Every structure is written in structure tokens, then in C-alpha cells.
Structure 1
Amino acid sequence: MRSTIPSPVTLGFYIKETLRQAWPVLVSSWAGIAFGVIDTAMAGHASAADLQAMALSVSIYITIFVGLMGVVHALIPILAQHYGGGRYLEVGRTWGQGVWLALGLSLVGAVTMLFPDVWLMLSGDVEPAVRNGITWYLRALILALPATLVFRTIYALGAAVSRPKTVMTINLISIVFKFLFNWLFMFGKLGLPAMGAAGAGLSTAVVSWLCLGTGLWVLRRDPYYTRFKPTLGRLHWPVLKELLRLGLPMGGSYLVEVCAFSFMALLIAREGMFVSGGHQIAANLAALCYMMPMAVGVASASLTAQAIGANDFKRAKKTGLAGLLVVLGGALITATLLIVGRPLILEAYTDDLQVAAVAATLLQIIPFFHLCDAMQCIGSYLLRAYKVAVVPLLLQIVALTGIGLVGGWWLGFGAGAGALRPLINALMPGAPTGAATMWLMALTGLGLSALLLHSWYWHVVRIHGQRHSRQAA
């Protein structure tokens, strides 16, 4: 059964379709960030120990969650191809296997979060009060993990069938409940004990299960979803095998990206508190900017996979090209705003003149960093639409870890320390040597990753086009 989705010839149509599907994904991503902002801001009003416990706990949780989330996101291209091919019952059955996968992954994540001391070995001496806060915060997040991962299957389903507003609406409403439960649990309101950082974790758990319950209710009531007959069903190994075959390298790619930032922060901390603070501003800004290409990537991958499922490879190619153009245009606009708005950005982030001075030097490279980051992001997502994930993972390991992270350490803090000082003086005058070197090498790694991923993407597009032509003949 073929899809009834039209195949117009104008590129403008595909750009419009990409934007229509991308903006709810972007809003959902911002809503997800709001959870961390609320936790950090409210922990700062609880105690210094709670704030430090929050920072360390979140870094542990994000590393674990992002890797597991990447595996679950294998559902997006698989479901989208079924949807594009009109195989609606397969959409519902495969989603159910994705739920089983999410539940199994939550057990893996729970085990890794039960032993925070293993993670804290990288952080040196941690005060007992902070260590206790981390332990209880992570235990609360263990309760949240099954709900958040299963909710990600609903996110994947919505993205795959061009219905991203469902999750967006739930995420926006959840912000209100997150703030309310934080207030109750962290500060001990309405007769409850004040739990500090652990209360923030418990709040996340409660809100996560509320979100999941709402999402499941929508799947059972909304006619748009009921036609797929989404059901848990029994474990079906062939489908789970396909999910793992695509999901494990996808999760690996997610981990490579998030770990690169995590280890950058640990290495740059050697240059002192003010340099570390300046780096954190630059890193946070880069992460916020990344949400745009990520949202377009999810939308483009979904629409491209739908076209592939319908055996319409011309439409798949045009949809992919539309996504590339949208990301390139958005990245250029974002880079311009970063250059023009640098003084306002610094003012919004910090009042500390020494931190601001360091951040100002690092922000000189962020516009170029974002351009490379955006292009490698859309490249990886478009390859996933074709169910290609192993080669992108290997390319990203070489570029982001080998060149970016290891190269940055070697030239910034290792035997080659100071070798890039002349280049730093030209591009980032006044920047601390170690931090600037790490950012320059990360930029180089991202640029190489973008080049390699796009070369492989067009190779995959050409192969699929030739194969389809032979079949048609």
C-alpha cells in the first residue's frame, strides 16, 4: 500500500513542510531545557551543597539518559518508513516493541545510576553532604527513567507520523507542574519535609509519570493515533533486533557528542574557576543554538523516511535537500545574531567581570563552531532516515573524539601544549591557551565530521537512487 502523500516538484513546498514539522520539535526541546533551568535556579535558593549536588547529578544523568534516548530514537526512521508506506498496523506494533526496549534500557540505566561513587571518582574530593544529595537525587531519577524513556517512544511516534504538536503541548504544560512539585518537595511546603536536591529529583519523577500517563491517554483517544492500533503486544525479537541494530550506533553517536562536552569541561577546569565559568557560558550557548539544527534534523529525517517508505526516492532526496537548506539558513542567521548580540549575551549570563572577560574571548569562535555543529547534526539525522548509523558513528568517533577531544587535550594540556598559541592570538586574542585550544580543536572535529557525514550521505542517496532505477526498469 503506497502513501497518499503528494509529491510536488517545488523545493519551496519541502522547505515549508520541514519548517511546519520542525518548530513544535524545537519548542519541545526548549521545554525540556526548562526543567534543568528550574532545578538549577531553585537549588541555588536552597543551599550551596544542593546546587553542587544538582550540577554533578545532572551531568551523570544526562550522560546516561542521552545515550539510552539515542537507542530509543531508532523508532523515528523505522516508524516513519512504515507510515510513508501506508503500513499503519506495523506502526502500532513496532511502537509497542519500542516500549519494551525502553523498559529494558531503563533497567540498564538504573544500575548505572545506583553507584554514583564510580562517577564521582572523576570529581576529586566531594563533601559528604553533597555526595548524599547526589545519591538521593539519582535514586529519585531512577524512578523517573522508565517514564521518560517510554515517553520518548511517544515522542518518536509523533515525529514519525508528522504529529509533533502532541508532545510539544504535553511538555509545555509539564513545566507548570515541575515548578509546583519542586516548590513542594525542595522547600517542604504544605507539611512536607524539605528535601533539597533530592526533592527536585522526586519532582522530575512525578512529572515524568504524569506526562507518560497523558501521552498514553492521547494514543488511546485521538483518532489520528488509534488507526495505528498502538499496543504493547508480546516481545518480538525480529523487530527488537532491527531497533537495536539501528539504535545502538545511534545511541553511541549521541554519547560521543555529549561526552566530548563533558570531558572538555573537566579538562578546562584545570585553568581555574574563572576560565571554567567562561567556558560554561560558551558551552551553554552552543547547546542552546544546537536545538535549531536538531529540531530540523528530526523533522527532515521523519519526512525523508516517510518518502523512503513510499519508495519515492526523488521526494526523499528533495526533502533532505530542503532540510540542509533550512539548517544552513538558520545557522547563518544564528551566527549573525551571536556576533551582533555578544555584549547583550554576556550581560545576560554573568555579572562577574573576570568570567565575562574569559567568555568574551571564547565567544569569538562560537558562530563558526555553531555553523559546523549545525551541518554535522543535519548530516547525521538524514543518514538515520536511510537506517544508516554504524558508519556515521565511526566517522564521529574519529572526528569528534580523535581530532576534537584527544587532539584538543594533546595541544592544550599535553605534550603539544601552546602549539596553537599563534593561531589563538589571531582568531581569539586574549583567550586562555588551554580552553581556546580545546574549542579550536572541537571546531576542527565538527567541521571534519560535517564534511565526512555529508559525503557519505550523498553516497547513500546516489546508491538508493540507482537501485530504485534498476528496479523500476
Structure 2
Amino acid sequence: MNTRAAPNPTLGHYFKETIRQAWPVLVSAWASMAFAVVDTTMAGHSSAADLQAMALSVSIYLTVFVGLMGVVHALIPIIGQHYGARRLESAGKAWGQGVWLALGLSACGAVTLLFPDVWLMFSGDIDPVVMRKISNYLLALIVAMPAALVFRTIYCLGTAASRPKVVMAINLLSIPFKVLFNWVFIFGQFGVPAMGAAGAGLSTAVVSWLMLGMGLWVIKHDTFFKQFQLRLGRIDWAAQKELLRLGLPMGGSYLIEVCAFTFMALMVAREGMFVTGSHQIMANLAALCYMMPMAIGIASASLTAQAIGAEDPARAKLTGQAGFLLVLAGAALTATLLLVFKPQIIALYTSDAQVGALAALLLQILPFFHLCDAMQCINTYLLRAYKVAVIPLIMQVFALTGVGLVGGWVLGFGPAAGALQPVINTLMPGAPTGAATLWLMAGLGLGMSALLLRFWYWRTLAQYQREKSAYL
């Protein structure tokens, strides 16, 4: 049935609609990212060893968690299309199946975190003190993972149904608790021994379960969510298959993106504790900047999925255009701010002069990196609204892994190490060769991924428009 609305809104209308949904997603994402920022800054003021342990631990955990989170995020286009078509009970059932999926994935993720030595084989010799801190940090995050993944199902439900403020509020409320528990566990307060980096992991576990409790309470008592008849129900293997068919390539795309950061951190560890700390600041800041295009991408994807479910191809096209232009403008603004406020930004992250000096050298390339990252992000999310995930995964494997990660290793640490030194001397004079090479090649890989994904989005959109025109 054609459920298109009678009015024909302009592109400006979709700018406003996207912004209206994107800003709570952005605030929520920044609030979530605040956990990593708080951990990095507080561990950085504890000791250089804690900062290195934090850099390596977070890289390992994010590789696992973000990949699994990507699988759970298959709920966004699925629930979004159900919601757009007003299949509310089906949307509620999909959420329940997503909870089962999250629980199963958390068990798989826990196993991978039990063996940090496997991950750290790429890092060369690590100080035994740092190794012990890493193991303790990851053990605490095993406890956090089930709560964090199930909470993502609530995030998916709210986002797909254009109610992102629920998760935003919970994330904002969680920040003071995170700071408090970090203070207690990292530095040792109220008789609790100082745990350093491991204390940050313990505080994340405590806060993650608090957040899940708040999220479940809200969706049970909020009148808006009652219309979905939310319930866990039994495992529906057909529904699980649908989630995995879309979620596995989505999770693979998330994994490819985060693996670049993970293995970059593991390889940069060869250049020493101070370079590792500066790389962690760069990676943390890049991830923080990524929240803007990600928020607009998620908002655009959910609104586009709703338009697809409502069989409104014109709205789907305009929503995608609005999201792309907003990300382009936001990325340009972010790049400018990075250039203007670089000294102040570094001062927030560390009080170690050597780490700060190295970070300043690496940050010279961050504006270019962010522009490429933002463009590939929005195109990926728009394709997911059409339930297209396999081809983007293949493109990202080639561009991000082949060009970015493998190319960065070959030219930075491998047989052609130092080949990009003239380029580095021009773009980042004085920067450590290995780390600078990795960041440069990662940026080039992201740029290539953005171009390939944009081409495939145009192809997918044109095919969808033709199909709907023929049907109507």
C-alpha cells in the first residue's frame, strides 16, 4: 500500500528533521564517548604506565565490543522499516529477538577478552606491570559486556522509532557516576585500594549495569513504548537468521573500522610508551570527532528506513541528501576547530610534556583524517537503511584493511619502512615515523572507502527509485 504523505516538503524540511533526530543521538554518543575520555584523561594523570595499559586495553575491548555492537545495530533498519509501515507489534518482537542476540554475542565476546596475550603479540615486548594492568582491565569489562550490549537494543529501538532522547538522558546521567567510580577505583578512595587502569574497567562495569536498569525501567513505563508490546519471548530462529544476515556484515564493517585503530595501537607500542600515549590521544580525539557524522548517519538511516517502510521513495532520497550535506558541513567545521584549538585540546588529555609534544605532531593530520572518515561514515549508514551491508563490507575490507592497515604496516614498520618519510616531513615534521605512516595511510584508506561507498549508494538509490516508480 502506498502510504506517502500528500505534502511535498523541501530539502530544508529534511535538514530540520534530520537535525531534530541527530542532536540527541550526538549528545548520547558524546556522553558514551565520555567514558573513554574520562578513562584516558584520569589514567593519563595517574601514570604513563596506566596510560599505555589504557591505550592497549581500550583498543582490544573496542575491537570486540564495536564489532558485536554492529551486529546488534541491525535492529535499526529492521525496526525502522517496521515502524514506518506501522507494523508496531513486529517492531516489538524484533526488539525482543535483539535482546537474545545481544546476550549470545556477549558470551562470545567474553571469551575473546580472556586472552589478551593473543592480541598483544603484535606489540613486541610489553612491561609486565602494564600486562597485569591490561588483564585486570579486560576482566572487569567482561562483566560490563552483557549490560552494554543489551542496552544497545534499547538504543536501537529508540533511534529507529525517532525517540533518541531516552538513551541520551540515560547516557548523560551516567557520566557523573562514571567520574565518581573512576575517582574511587583508579586513585583509591574510601578505603578502596588504588587500581589504576584496572579501576577504570571496574567503574565501567558498575555503570553499565546501572544504565541497563534505567533503560529497562523507561521502556516499561513510558507510554510511547507500550504500543510496541515489548517482550522477550522465545528465541525465534527465523528472526535470528534475519538479524544475522544483516547484522554480520554490519558488524564486519564496524570491526574493519575499529580494527584499524586496534592494530595501529598494537604496532605503535613498538615505538615506546610515550608514542603510545600520544597515539591514544590522537585515536581518542578522532573517535570523539567521529561522533558527529555517526549521529547524523544514524538519524539519516533511521529516517530513510522509515520512508522505505512507508513506501515513500522521494522522502527516502531527500532524507539521504540532507544527511550527506549536513555531515559535509559538520566535518569542515570540526576540522577547523581542530586546527585552531590544538594546544588547548592536548592540555586536556595529558600533563606529560613528552606525550603532549608527540601528540601535537600527530594531530597535524587529524583534520584530513576526519574529513575522509566522516564521508565514508554517512555513506555506510545510508546504505544500511536499504539493508545493503555485504558490498560495503567488501569495499571497506579492501580500502581500510588493504590500503590503510596493511599499507601502513608495510610503509611504517615492514619491508618498506620509512618510504613515506619525505611526505611525513612535509605534513607532520618531527612526528614518529611509524605512527605517522599509519595515520596517513589510514586517512587515504578512509578516503578511498568514502568514494567507493558513495558510488554504491548512488547505484542502490537509483535501483530503488526505478523499482518504486514501476510499482506506482
TM range, normalised to the smaller chain? over 0.9
1:270 Cα deviation from its structure 2 partner: 3.7
Alpha-carbon distance in 1 for matches of 2:45, 2:363: 29
| Counterpart residue number, 2:121 | 121
Mark the runs of 5 or more structure 2 residues left unpaired by the alignment: none
Is the aligned partner of 1:452 residue 2:452?
Answer: yes
Matched with 2:138 is 138
2:411 aligned residue: 411
Structure 1 residues 27-69: Cα deviation after superposition (integer angstroms, max 9, x where no partner): 1111112222333444456666655544433222211111110
- 1:252 to partner: Cα distance: 0.8
- Judge which range, 323-332 or 421-430, deviates more: 421-430
Q: Distance in 2 between matches of 1:89 and 1:171?
A: 27
Matched, 1:399 2:383: no
Alignment of 1:247-266 (within 5 A): 247-266=247-266
Q: Which amino acid aligns with 2:334?
A: T
Asked if 2 retains the 8 angstrom alpha-carbon contact of 1:2 and 1:86, the reply is no
Structure 1 unpaired stretches of 5+: none
% identity of equivalent residues: 70
User: How many matched pairs?
Assistant: 472
Instruction: Give the 3 Å change call, closer, same or farther, for CA 6–252 of structure 1 in structure 2.
Output: farther
Supply the distance in 1 between the matched residues of 2:440 and 2:128 (Cα, whole angstroms): 37
Say whether 1:87 aligns with 2:71: no
Tell me, in whole angstroms, the C-alpha distance in 2 between the residues paired with 1:353 and 1:202.
29
Distance 1:273 1:6, change over 3 A: farther
One-letter code aligned to 1:427 = L
Partner residue, 2:369: 369
Q: What CA RMSD, in Å, does the superposition of the two structures yield over aligned residues? A: 2.5
Given the two structures, how large is their TM-score scaled by the length of structure 1? 0.92
Contact 1:335 1:368 in 2 (8 A): yes
Deviation digits for residues 108-166 of structure 1 (CA, Å, limit 9, x no counterpart) = 01111223333333344445554444333323222211111000000000100000000
> Is 2:55–2:280's contact at 8 Å kept on the other side of the alignment?
no
Range 65-74 or range 349-358, more displaced: 349-358
Q: Which moved more, 1:166-175 or 1:140-149?
A: 140-149
Q: 1:301 to 1:143 in 2, by over 3 A?
A: same
Q: Does 1:31 align with 2:31?
A: yes
Task: Tell me, in whole angstroms, the C-alpha distance in 1 between the residues paired with 2:41 and 2:421.
Answer: 37
CA separation of 1:428/1:352 partners in 2, compared to 1, >3 Å: closer, same or farther?
same
The 3-state SS of whatever aligns with 2:285 is helix
SS of equivalent residue, structure 2 residue 364: coil
Letter in 1 for 2:251: G
Shift of 1:196: 4.9
Whole-Å Cα distance in 1 between the matches of residues 462 and 259 of structure 2? 33
Structure 1 residue identity aligned to 2:233: G
Residues 462, 44 of structure 1: alpha-carbon distance in 2 compared, 3 angstrom cutoff: closer
User: Which amino acid counterpart does residue 404 of structure 1 have in structure 2?
Assistant: G
**Structure 2 residue aligned with 1:77:** 77
Matched letter for residue 435 of structure 2: A
CA distance in 2, matches of 1:354, 1:173: 35
Contact preservation (8 Å) 2:123, 2:268: no
* Range that drifts further, 29-38 or 452-461: 29-38
- Superposed displacement of residue 422, structure 1: 3.5
> How many Å apart are 1:263 and its aligned residue?
1.8
The answer to whether the Cα contact below 8 Å between 1:2 and 1:85 also exists between their aligned partners in 2 is no
Q: Aligned residue for 2:341?
A: 341
Partner of 1:312 in structure 2?
A: 312
Aligned to 2:66: 66
What is the CA-CA distance between 1:420 and the residue it aligns to? 2.9
Counterpart-to-counterpart distance in 2, 1:214 and 1:334: 33
Shift of 1:239: 1.2
Q: How does 1:132-211 map to 2 (within 5 A)?
A: 132-186=132-186, 189-190=189-190, 196-211=196-211
